[in-house]
Amino acid sequence: MKFFISRYSSKMEDNPLYLVVLSDIMTNLMLFFLILYVFSLQDQAVVKAAFESGFDKEHVQKEKEKKALDVMQKYEEEDVARKLKEEMAKNGMQDMAEVQMTEKQIKINIAAPVLFASGKAALSAGSAEILGPVAHVLSRLPNDIIVEGHTDNVPIRSGDYSTNWELSAARADAVVELLAVKHAIPQERMIAAAYGEYRPVAPNDTAQGRARNRRIEVIISRK
């Protein structure tokens, strides 16, 4: 045993290359402990996220793909809003319908008298033709859709419904059914909402204001 140790020690003295290897090990250890020290100074949640994102290449790639899809979705939504305006102008509906787009939604405002007779919730004969271009463009997007019914504040004195709220609910349901049955818009994407007279867009003290308040709003939620 003594002979082996003396020979090994003599060999190390003759060949100082081991010092290079040893110094590399020491340098790497120092860097490792330095990284641990820096991590200990930061918030644990931030460190964990940075660590996971740095080493999980699949996660990083998925995040990049998601961002790319989000950008494409926004361009598609903007194109849909533009197409809606073009279709309405082409069909002479620019005075009967309006398209607005914000960061959160695309809103299609359609005057109720274009779709329904006064006090009624049955769609008129020409309503399918009016809603056709809207449905065609809606089918391009996977976004959720809210169909809202709105009325003026004039009390209902006759007809099938006793309140404006009931009338607005029935009208919203009628539009949803038409979009689903005739234009194959998936029902799970649509919600019917009724607001009656309680969300006016104009004063109800003039005929013009009341006409603006009697409306159907088709809202496309932007993801």
pLDDT digits (tens, 9 = 90+) for 24-71: 777 777 777 777 766 565 566 665 666 566 556 666 566 655 555 555
Higher pLDDT, 128 or 42: 128
* Distance separating alpha carbons of residues 164 and 213, to the nearest angstrom: 12
Pair of tokens at residue 216: 């159907």
pLDDT value at residue 64: 58
Domain 76-221 has CATH 3.30.1330.60: yes
Q: In the block, which residue shows the tokens 């361009």?
A: 75
Helix (H, G, I), strand (E, B) or coil at 191: strand
* Distance separating alpha carbons of residues 111 and 86, to the nearest angstrom: 18
Max CA separation in the chain (angstroms): 116
CB 77 within 8 A of CB 220: yes
* Distance separating alpha carbons of residues 106 and 167, to the nearest angstrom: 24
pTM above 0.85, yes or no: no
